[in-house]
Structures are given as structure tokens and as C-alpha cells.
Amino acid sequence: MKTKLIILTSFLLMAAGLASHAQTNTFDINMKKLGAPIQPTMYGIFFEDINFAADGGLYAELVKNRSFEFPVDPLQGWTAFGNVKVREDGPFDKNPHYVRLGNPGHAHKHTGLENSGFFGIGLKEGAQYRFSVWARVPDGGNATIRVELMDRANMGERQAYVQQRVAISSSQWKKYEVVLTSPVTNPKASLRIFLQSKEATVDLEHISLFPVDTWMGHENGMRKDLAQALYDLHPGIFRFPGGCIVEGTDLETRYNWKNSVGPVENRPINENRWEYTFDYRLFPDYFQSYGLGFYEFFLLSEEIGSEPLPIVSCGLACQFQNDDESAHVPVDELQDYIQDALDLIEFANGDVSTKWGALRAEMGHPAPFNLKFLGVGNEQWGETYPEHLEPFVKAIRAKYPDIKIVGTSGPDSEGNQFDFLWPEMKRLGADLVDEHFYRPYDWFLSQGARYDNYDRKGPKVFAGEYACHARGKKWNHFYASLLEAAFMTGLERNADIVHMATYAPLFAHVEGWQWRPDLIWFDNLNTMRTVSYYVQQLYSQYKGANALTLTMDKKNVTGADGQNGLFASAVADGNKVYVKVVNTSEKAQSINLNFTGMKKNEVLKGVKSIRLTTDKIEEDNIEDPTNILPEELAFSAQGQNVNVTVEPLCFRIFVLEK
Ligand code: AHR
């Protein structure tokens, strides 16, 4: 495929020149009749803690293994020196480990610890960092620790850039805090803690370092640049926490939402299945702190303006990894799982007098989060899935009849399981069905009409995980994003049944990824928005209010034979019209936009056009975030009939107004 892409690239300039000779494509856009409303939830985000998306990513905590609970070694992620002992009778019952710093045994020796975070600790010049720790002096009296932001590779006289002392003044566990301002920018710094009072003994637990400047200033907050990237997508729906992570490699390691709420110090860590799912991209120190838990998810949804869509376990552990029935919960023993789902709804929406509503209020949000959707199960399949889903549906309908339930059609975009599950979801009365497709170029090119003939009387579609992958090597590149844009015209045209769509996965750390392509890449200091990100953003920005019928020779424009590689859709937004055209061909295409059904004296005027194209079709923005960006162009047009040209391999949006 690489060779093909290179050939395509070399055709680009030549092809542009052919436009004037090419036949004109006439698109009839019916302005008389508004089509289905585009749901506010149409374009959204799928969050899963894969590729260090949570700890080491969106969750702004800079210390790895802050509670000394990594199971193979409680000191994993730490370098201890002098006299450091791990103990396990700490103040937090679900995280019992802590460290005891004692006399190093000589006036010229030192006791302490270092932590270099996730691939280093990213510091920005002039930025403030809040260090906090739970501590005590077990023998009574006072003691001091010294906290430093430092780098062993610092060529200055001292390794530390900045240091502060913290006086520990009680034999009881208490939280201490100090703010350090970094005088430097360094993506790979470390945190070092010295026992300053060498003769004392000090116990330390939950050692944490956060930038003060988090998203919305929350102390247990999100990395501001990454949360901003989500906000800028205008996501209508926010799916969380996955993905396979919902199911667990075994039931023990499934995402248990109840462990992700309450004080962060007492949220038990969970294994992250992406630590070991691919042994060719192994990260033995990848765990979920649950610091970004369900409360933080609901809050962030509210702050970025999305509807939250939690997915809960249906009692089936990941079916890719468990053939044996005994790995799953028998249908007649699902009660605890069903209760977890009901309790989650209560946590989100319950009155403060309810058990879980009270916890939400205690955590800082007495008002309900107004949860409307709940997914049950991730990529489940076989007869066992509807059998497991059914009791959830009954219990949720009985207690919360307004909650919309999302079922799944399994991991495949078509085939036996898919064909079996869709009617089953209809039989069970699921409101939406979650479809997944990580598929190659030819699949995306052939699916422009995918939803045109779907059952209009069944559940609605949630395209819950999708991305265009090249065969073999998978990586972010323009051509794949272009085909996503082409495919999305079919989502928009079918807005009556497609109610949600979320690209996946969302985030990837450049040093910690297991899966690609991804929507947003980042390192310890920077965010890189991919071309796929801009495709999603453009669809969201120009979502419109109602679909309009757009045809060429009375057929939907879906990249079908004879349609010159064109995909197109149109929406109305008040007095504006947005026409989206994706030219997947190697030739520039002349298009006549013929607006029908307008009054004689009515005209449409061009407002602007947005263009996303490049001749670097194998590239993306990961190394240079400005490499391929949408451009806004002037668009002067007037009338009911407008001629435009769309360049080869190009996504264009034409904005017109009455
Ligand atoms: O997005 C990565 C994974 O792909 C998800 O966890 C899973 O649902 C799918 O197989």
C-alpha cells in the first residue's frame, strides 16, 4: 500500500491540472425539506486508559506509584537511598503500603526517594507544582523533609532546580502541601525527597505532585492542554472508561467504578490490561490509579459540554482472552453487577439523600450530573451476551425508565456475530447499538452507503470505536484520515438512525503507546492534534441542525462506481448550509452545487470554505503539530447554482447562507 500511496502523491500536481477537462459532477441539494435532526450527541469522544491516556496522560498526577501499591514491587517507579523500608499498616485500608524513612546511619549519608514519573516529569519554566504527602513522625516530635524538582543530568552545580522544606509536626497521619515553582522547562525531570532530619523517623504515604494550573484548576485535576484539546472538539458524547478495560482480562481486573470514587488516597489500583496485551509493546509498570475515576469523568463531561456515556461490565470478562465459560459470571449470579449499574446511575443522578448521591455531593457536586445513557458490555458476542444483557435491561428499565441503554454488536463490523446480535439488540429493546470498526482503506472506501438501508425501526447506531487503519503497519497519516472524513458523510446523511460516533482510541503518549493510530498524541509537555482530530473537529463544528438530501443522478454520493471517488453530505443550520465533500480520487473534481426547492428570488451566498488536504499523504502532525492543518478559504458564490472545484485527495466544507 505504501508504494500505492507514493504513486498517488506523485500524481497530485499533475491531477490538479486535469480539473478543467474533467466532467462536472452535479449535486442536487434539496432545500425544501429539512431531513432528520442531527443529534447533539452525534460526534463525541471515546476515552480508554490505553497508551497511558489516564495516568501519565490526561490525569495530571506526575508521580508514578504514588501509594506504593504496585504489586510486583511496592517501590516500582521509585529509587530509594539510605534507610527506606516499605510497611503495610498505613492509614488507607485499600492502599495499605507506605514508606518509613529512617536514620541513614552516618552524618554523611542520606535517606530518601526519587521518582521520575511517567517517562520523566514534565516541568515548565515559571509553572507551579503542588507537592503533597500524607506523613507522620511515628515516634513523636518534629521532623523535616526536603523536596526537590531535579534532574541528575542537570549540568549546573546542583541537580535540583528548586527545593522546599516540609515540617512534619505530628505523630498522627496528616496531609502536608508545598508549592514549588520551576525555573526551567524540562520534559524529563524527577522528584527527590530527602529526610532532612537525619536522626528522625518519618512515614510517608500518597506522595503526589500536580501542576497547580490544571484544567479548571481542580486539585485532583486534568492536564490542561489535553483537556483543552477535548473541549475544542465540541464533543456531544463522552464514552468512558473503554473499551476492553471495562471487561478486564479476568473479572478481577474489570473496571470497578466503585473503586474509582471517594478520596483518591483510598482508591485501590487496578492492573491495566494494556500493560501486557501486546508483548511486543510491553509496559510492566502500567497500572490504573483510578485518580481519574467516575466522579472526574462526570465532571469533565459537564465541563466540556458532553453527555456522559459510561460503559459497565455485563459480567463477561474479555471474550478474546477467555474461551472458558468459568471465566464469566453465570447469568443467575449477575445481581452484584446489575446493582453496580443501578448504583452508578444513582451516583450520577440520585438525590443527595441517597447513598451514592450523597457520595457525589461529598465529592463536591450536589447537583445531579443528569446521566441519560448507559452502555452494558463492550465487545461481547455469542448467545451469552444477550443472555447477560437481558436482566440488566429489565432492572434498568424498572428503576430508571428514562435511561437509554446501549448494547453492542460485537467486535466485527459485519459477519455472523454482527448479524446475530443486531436483531437480538432489537428484541431486547436496546436504544442504541455500539458498532466497532478498525478497518483498512478498501473497507472505508466501500462503506459510504453503509447506513442508507439500515432498519429504521430498530435501535439507533452508535459507531462507538472506529478508525481507518492501513494493512500491516498502522500509523496516523493523512490518507487514512481522509477516508474517515469520506465515511462520515454517511453518518451525517443517516442522522435519523446514527445518533453517536466516536473515533478510537483517543490519546497516546509518544513513549507509551500500545495501539495506533490515535486521535491525540502527547509527550510530557506538548499535545499533537492529528489530522483525524481535525476531521472530527470539522464535523463537530459544522454539525448543523438537520440533514439535507444530496444526490448525484438521484443517488446518494457514497463513492460508488461512476461517482469519481466523491463522498458528500449536506446539512442545514438555521439560514446556513454546510456541504461536505470528500474527493478520494487522484483528480480534481468540478462540482455543480445545485440547490433545489428554493423560492425563485432566494439566493445562497458563499461565506467560506474549509479545506483539508496535503501532498504529504503518508504524514501526520505527531512530529510537527502544524504539518497538516485545515485552511479557511474565501468562497464567493451567489445563486441557487454554484460551481466549485475540489482538489484531489481533499476534504472540503462549503459554507453558504441565505
Ligand atoms: O480501542 C482499543 C480497543 O479496541 C478497545 O479497548 C476495544 O474495545 C477494541 O477492541
540-585 per-position pLDDT tens digit: 999 999 999 999 999 999 999 999 999 999 999 999 999 999 999 9
Task: Identify any residues that bridge with 408 across adjacent strands, giving them in sequence order.
Answer: 434
Pocket of ligand 1 (CB under 6 A): 48, 50, 242-244, 378-379, 411, 436, 465, 504-505, 515
Measured from the Cα of 244, ligand 1's closest atom is: 6
Q: What is the rounded average pLDDT for all residues in the chain?
A: 96
499-525 per-position pLDDT tens digit: 999 999 999 999 999 999 999 999 999
Q: Which of 45, 50, 385 to mutate to test the pocket of ligand 1 (most atoms within 8 A of CB)?
A: 50
Whether the per-residue pLDDT at 8 is higher than 60: the answer is no
CA 247 to centroid of ligand 1, rounded, Å: 11
Residue with cell 503497519: 473
> Mean per-residue pLDDT for 150-178?
97
Q: Which of 281, 311, 321, 438 to mutate to test the pocket of ligand 1 (most atoms within 8 A of CB)?
A: 438
Nearest alpha-carbon partner for 82 in 106, 111, 105: 111
| Three-state DSSP string of 241-307 | CCCHHHCCCCHHHCCCHHHHCCCHHHCCCEECHHHCCCHHHCCCCCEECCCCCHHHHHHHHHHHCCE
464-493 per-position pLDDT tens digit: 999 999 988 899 999 999 999 999 999 999
Q: Which of 48, 69, 148, 379 is catalytic?
A: 379
Above pLDDT 90, what percent of the chain?
A: 96
CA 566 to centroid of ligand 1, rounded, Å: 30
Whether the per-residue pLDDT at 6 is higher than 70: the answer is no
- Say which DSSP state 38 is in: P
216-250 per-position pLDDT tens digit: 999 999 999 999 999 999 999 999 999 999 999 99
- Say which DSSP state 468 is in: E
Euclidean distance between CA atoms 51 and 622, whole angstroms: 15
What is residue 240's predicted lDDT score, i.e. its pLDDT? 98
- Say which DSSP state 370 is in: -
CB 190 within 8 A of CB 113: no
CA dihedral 558, 560, 564, 568 (to 10 degrees): -10
Measured at the CA of 567, the angle between CA 564 and CA 571, to 5 degrees, comes to 140
Q: How far is CA 472 from CA 1, 94, 440, 513, 520, in A?
A: 9, 43, 9, 17, 21
Q: Which of 47, 318, 436 to mutate to test the pocket of ligand 1 (most atoms within 8 A of CB)?
A: 436
Cell numbers at 224, concatenated: 490542561
> Mean per-residue pLDDT for 140-145?
96
* Residue ID of nearest Cα to ligand 1 atom 1: 505
91-107 per-position pLDDT tens digit: 999 999 999 999 999 99
Whether the per-residue pLDDT at 658 is higher than 70: the answer is yes
Above pLDDT 70, what percent of the chain?
A: 97
Q: Where are the domains of the chain?
A: 8-38+546-657, 43-59+215-541, 78-211
Euclidean distance between CA atoms 422 and 188, whole angstroms: 49
| 23: confidence class by pLDDT, cuts 50, 70, 90 | confident
Q: What topology does CATH give the domain 43-59+215-541?
A: TIM Barrel (3.20.20)
> Mean per-residue pLDDT for 149-164?
97
Whether the per-residue pLDDT at 10 is higher than 70: the answer is no
> Mean per-residue pLDDT for 407-422?
98
- Tally of CB atoms within 10 A around 26: 15
> Mean per-residue pLDDT for 47-65?
98
Measured from the Cα of 242, ligand 1's closest atom is: 6
- CATH level 2 (architecture), domain 78-211: Sandwich (2.60)
Half-sphere exposure of 218 (CA within 13 A, CB side): 23
What is residue 22's predicted lDDT score, i.e. its pLDDT? 59
265-296 per-position pLDDT tens digit: 999 999 999 999 999 999 999 999 999 999 99
Q: Is 379 a catalytic residue?
A: yes
CA 411 to centroid of ligand 1, rounded, Å: 8
Which stretches of 245-349 are DSSP H helices? 294-304, 335-349
CA 224 to centroid of ligand 1, rounded, Å: 25
CATH homologous superfamily for the domain 8-38+546-657: Golgi alpha-mannosidase II (2.60.40.1180)
Euclidean distance between CA atoms 253 and 256, whole angstroms: 8
What is residue 177's predicted lDDT score, i.e. its pLDDT? 98
**Contacts of residue 134, Cβ cutoff 8 Å, sequence gap at least 6:** 91, 98, 173, 174, 175, 176, 204, 205, 206, 265
CB 64 within 8 A of CB 118: yes
Cell numbers at 294, concatenated: 467516575
* Residue ID of nearest Cα to ligand 1 atom 6: 243
Measured from the Cα of 245, ligand 1's closest atom is: 6
| 14: confidence class by pLDDT, cuts 50, 70, 90 | very low
* Residue ID of nearest Cα to ligand 1 atom 4: 243
Euclidean distance between CA atoms 491 and 340, whole angstroms: 33
**Contacts of residue 526, Cβ cutoff 8 Å, sequence gap at least 6:** 225, 625
> Mean per-residue pLDDT for 450-471?
97
* Residue ID of nearest Cα to ligand 1 atom 5: 243
Q: Which of 462, 515, 516 to mutate to test the pocket of ligand 1 (most atoms within 8 A of CB)?
A: 515
Task: Give the chain's count of helices (H) and strands (E).
Answer: 10, 35
* Residue ID of nearest Cα to ligand 1 atom 7: 243
